[in-house]
Structure 1
Amino acid sequence: MSESQCDIGFIGAGVMGKNLILNLADNGYRVCAFDLDHNRLNALLEQDKKECGGLPARVETCNSYTELLAKVKAPHLIILSVPAGAPVDDVCSKLMDAGLKADDIVVDTGNSLWTDSVERAKRYEGKLIFFTTAVSGGEVGARFGPSLMPSGDRYAWSRIEPVWHAIAAKVDKASGQPIERFEPGSPVREGEPCAAYIGPIGSGHYVKMVHNGIEYADMQMICEAYHVMRTALGMAPEEIAEVFREWNRGPLNSYLINISAEVLSTLDSVTEQPLVDVILDRAGQKGTGLWTAMSSLEVGCPAPSIAEAVYARSLSTRKVLRTRAAQKLQGPELTQVAAEQREEVIAQLHDALYCAKICVYAQGFDLMKLAAREQGWQLNFSEIARIWRAGCIIRAVFLQSISDAYDRDPKLSNLLLDDFFTQQIADHQANWRQAVASATLNGIPVPALSSALNYYDAFRTVSLPANLLQGQRDYFGAHTFARVDQPEQRKYHVQWSEPGRPMVEI
């Protein structure tokens, strides 16, 4: 490699870091990498050598933070791919000790909690420019084009923008479909980049957090459809995979449907049985879905399907207890679907998944909208939908319709109120209701599909039973209530313990 200084310093050469570094190198950036684990740096250099095929190395490494700063052009652009939490602060502290200046930029690309990013920006003000970029797409996305959600200082964004636009996933402007090429050294340069400035510090990681919450729900609903086909229809994994492949040709076209079909088609190399049958039904989670559910409670925005997806993973971990319960607790007798009815049930599941998916996105975008109002962010929801069309885990053809909805009305109150989505649910909800009802009658749990239906029905109900709930609260706690025949800001309390129960205005 040339002795001239590198364009970018990169700290953290784990799975995501290594692939982002190679992506940067593909796009012509000279990168100097540092990691406390020298084995990772050796693996990075070996991978770069292998991909270069005899051409000069595109990446170099160093042995200290001081050496990293010496090898990178000033003002420095340093990208971090380290675990969230204390490691981020540890690296920032060591960089400052090594001579980092106030106009140097440090970009956190880990899965940090958004509030931590806000605090860091305040803490390091005047010492460095702390910027964040949430990255979605896993290791393949990092290598060949992720979806990027940057937020922070506007000046920092002006310096980072061309870098992120270069390495981000791309979509065809006319069709909205991903432009994908998985060839080292041959990056996709055409199309619209899936990277856009989200807003002030923290907003990018908040948007990514909601992305992951939607991801949890989307995955859970696909699993519920699989469970019904496996249990009530008696279908083999490969048969369900074929159904998913068919669904992937229509409005449910998505990365998650595609990989679900691939998982179901895969055989275990040891037993030659379907791989899905030898995988323990105990799901893990890294916390971002939980953060989304918690934030929805804090903001006061209903996101029940996301919460149910988190609960479903939690319940899956209670394997021993579930096994005991299966031997003791009774449910309905399972009614196997006749062969001639299979296609009808599959169509019902398709529409249930489609309608529930609309509701999950409505919940996610509503949460971002309320959080933005609370934090003073100006989020562009059409743009957020566009940068999710490729590179990220929830990438789907469906996102183009969401982007179009917010283009039609940037102030759209809720996705369900867009005419296109209103009509889509009107056309498909009968099958959705039948799918949920049939699963329930057969004792097959569909928590995400059913919670989405309950969300939809509650959302369209003018008078909810919260009037009785308010009466209950006033009875035991004197919490007051508003009247339907008076301005809402006027509050009343009933003297429940007195004869005649007089009402007083509070």
Structure 2
Amino acid sequence: MNDIGLLGLGVMGQSLALNIANKGYNVSVFNITSDLTRTFMETRAKDRNIFPFYDIKSFVESLSKPRKIFLMIVAGQPVDEMIQKLIPYLDKGDLIIDGGNSYYKDTTRRLKELKEKGILYLGVGVSGGESGALNGPSLMPGGTIEAYDLVKDILLKISAQTESGPCCAYVGNDSAGHFVKMLHNGIEYGMMQAISEVYDILRKVLKLSTNEIAEIFEEWNRGELNSFLIEISHKLMRHIDKSTGKPTLELILDKAGQKGTGKWTAEAALELGIPTPSLNAAVEGRIITFFKEDRTKLSRKIQKKYPDLTLDKEKIIEELKNALLFSNFILFSQGLWLMSEASKVYGYNIRISDVLKIWKGGCIIRAKMLDFYREIVDEKDDNSNLLNNEKSIKFLMEKIESVKYITNVAREYYIPMLIHNTALDYFLSMTEENLPANLIQAQRDFFGAHTYSRIDMEGTFHTIWE
């Protein structure tokens, strides 16, 4: 009997199956399309302890009890349909693991439905792409501790390994795993947008070549900005298109796709009442890119008057580095605050420090700065948003002038900086004692009798304004 079954042999599923087999486990595999299973067995899985099956019944029966089945299929309805196909062959105590980017509320529903049948369910966030799945992903399992314990050893062994330990830990109750993965992706959207904004300044203001920008990013990757996204950015900038001899990056249409996790993050923030303007702006930024024709037409109607400035190249590069550090900090600040609130409202019991450790290796948002964020979270103050800490304030205030400078330069050159602007405004708002909401409350009371509170006495008040 085999140790675990993996269902879904797309790129991620194949890589994960190989990873599990490489760690000494016997793996049963199944895919709806039999040809894909055969091809996999004849190529990548040849001579491995991976065993193919071509119908669900024999696939399930090949597993030792309690059975453990890892789904690596498209999120949404396909997961529900596959669960229904599996149920007739499962016994009480068997476990289904969903490793896709499932919506966390779907995971909550599936957990309840399967619990009624005595079947265990884990929602596991998997980050790292094809390479991570094969060599060690970041894994974010959520559900019951009973379910996690069934596959704990496997998950710990196949996850990425860092000096802090395996990049896998029990995240929390219910749909915590998929919520954390959704939030990971929301932060990922923001980091990618922030990097692209910096790239835009370097090419449009300083007029640097793609290769020159690659050299700057490579240098940054040796310091505080070290991260997976900065690393791949300088690598992809050096890729040359064989047919034209030009950098491939310069030939890519500026329309960014998305699969929904960023939007879900923004929706969750609005639902839970946590301010995440920079995470939201990253989603809006991608949406704006989609309207290429509209942008092209409008750009031809605008007469841009560029400033006659003498630019200090080295100063701008240094200020950009500091601005990017500032914005990345704010992205994590907003994301972790949202995670903390969700943990309270949904009873997840998430340990934010553990999540930051999980993100240190294998995943897309892994970065050197994660150790600093974790250090802040581990201190005694309430640091759910990272800001309530002297180290945080010192770090951000040392870089705030850089953000102000860069966003002003961007405006002079008509360059949008959605992440950097919202990060700055968020920080200014969160550190301002007196915001102009008193006028908003007066307006609301004027037209809707919504009432207001006063600063000089207790109670709720309404004024007849006319």
Q: TM-score, normalised by structure 1?
A: 0.90
Offset at 1:308? 0.8
Q: Distance in 2 between matches of 1:211 and 1:85?
A: 19
| Partner residue in 2 for 1:460 | 431
Question: Which of 43, 46, 58 is equivalent to 2:39?
Answer: 43
Offset at 1:62? 0.5
Q: Distance in 1 between matches of 2:266 and 2:422?
A: 14
Matched, 1:133 2:124: yes
| Partner residue in 1 for 2:298 | 325
Contact 2:381 2:388 (8 Å CA) reproduced = no
Q: Distance in 2 between matches of 1:35 and 1:454?
A: 49
> What one-letter code is carried by the residue in structure 1 that aligns with 2:413?
N
Question: Which of 398, 401, 424 is equivalent to 2:395?
Answer: 424
| Partner residue in 2 for 1:406 | 377
| Partner residue in 2 for 1:493 | 462
Question: Which of 192, 209, 217 is equivalent to 1:219?
Answer: 192
Q: Distance in 2 between matches of 1:80 and 1:193?
A: 22
Output aligned runs, 1:2-17, within 5 Å.
5-17=1-13
Q: Distance in 2 between matches of 1:10 and 1:247?
A: 39
Q: 1:336 to 1:147 in 2, by over 3 A?
A: farther
> What one-letter code is carried by the residue in structure 2 that aligns with 1:136?
S
Q: 1:10 to 1:336 in 2, by over 3 A?
A: farther
* C-alpha RMSD of the superposition: 1.3
Q: Distance in 2 between matches of 1:331 and 1:156?
A: 60
Offset at 1:142? 0.5
SS in 2 for 1:323: helix
SS in 2 for 1:415: coil
Q: Distance in 2 between matches of 1:376 and 1:492?
A: 36
Contact 2:142 2:177 (8 Å CA) reproduced = yes
1:145-182 CA-to-partner distances (Å, cap 9, x unmatched) read 00000011111111111110000001013xxxxxxxxx
Offset at 1:410? 6.8
Offset at 1:276? 1.2
Contact 2:136 2:160 (8 Å CA) reproduced = yes
- Unaligned runs of 5+ residues in structure 1 are 51-55, 174-191, 498-506
SS in 1 for 2:314: helix
Question: Which of 216, 222, 230 is equivalent to 1:257?
Answer: 230
Offset at 1:378? 1.5
Paired positions, count: 465
Q: 1:279 to 1:300 in 2, by over 3 A?
A: same
| Partner residue in 2 for 1:186 | none
Q: How much identity, in percent, do the aligned residues show?
A: 38
| Partner residue in 2 for 1:503 | none
Q: Distance in 2 between matches of 1:208 and 1:75?
A: 26
Contact 1:232 1:335 (8 Å CA) reproduced = no
- Unaligned runs of 5+ residues in structure 2 are none
Bigger mean CA deviation after superposition, 420-429 or 358-367: 420-429
> What one-letter code is carried by the residue in structure 1 that aligns with 2:23?
N
Q: Distance in 1 between matches of 2:216 and 2:308?
A: 21
Offset at 1:407? 1.6
Deviating above 4 A after TM superposition, structure 1's stretches of 4 or more consecutive aligned residues are: 334-337
Q: 1:170 to 1:336 in 2, by over 3 A?
A: farther
Output aligned runs, 1:47-446, within 5 Å.
47-49=43-45, 56-97=47-88, 99-127=89-117, 128-173=119-164, 192-333=165-306, 335=308, 338=311, 341-409=312-380, 411-446=382-417
Q: Distance in 2 between matches of 1:257 and 1:95?
A: 42
| Partner residue in 2 for 1:477 | 448
Offset at 1:112? 0.3
Offset at 1:335? 4.7
SS in 1 for 2:462: strand
Q: 1:440 to 1:302 in 2, by over 3 A?
A: same
Q: Distance in 2 between matches of 1:133 and 1:281?
A: 32
Q: Distance in 1 between matches of 2:439 and 2:301?
A: 37
Offset at 1:201? 1.6
SS in 2 for 1:28: coil
Offset at 1:202? 0.7
Q: Distance in 2 between matches of 1:361 and 1:287?
A: 19
| Partner residue in 2 for 1:179 | none
1:339-363 CA-to-partner distances (Å, cap 9, x unmatched) read xx10001111111101111111100
> What one-letter code is carried by the residue in structure 2 that aligns with 1:35?
N
Offset at 1:207? 0.8
Q: Distance in 1 between matches of 2:27 and 2:159?
A: 17
Q: Distance in 1 between matches of 2:186 and 2:3?
A: 35
Contact 1:48 1:58 (8 Å CA) reproduced = no
Offset at 1:495? 1.6
Q: 1:273 to 1:335 in 2, by over 3 A?
A: farther
SS in 2 for 1:331: coil
Q: Distance in 2 between matches of 1:297 and 1:195?
A: 29
> What one-letter code is carried by the residue in structure 2 that aligns with 1:225?
V
Offset at 1:217? 0.5
Q: 1:6 to 1:413 in 2, by over 3 A?
A: closer
Offset at 1:496? 2.3
1:199-242 CA-to-partner distances (Å, cap 9, x unmatched) read 11211111111111100000000000000010000000000000
> What one-letter code is carried by the residue in structure 2 that aligns with 1:171?
T
> What one-letter code is carried by the residue in structure 2 that aligns with 1:421?
S
Contact 2:282 2:418 (8 Å CA) reproduced = yes
Question: Which of 26, 30, 40 is equivalent to 1:30?
Answer: 26
SS in 2 for 1:373: helix
| Partner residue in 2 for 1:178 | none
SS in 2 for 1:492: coil
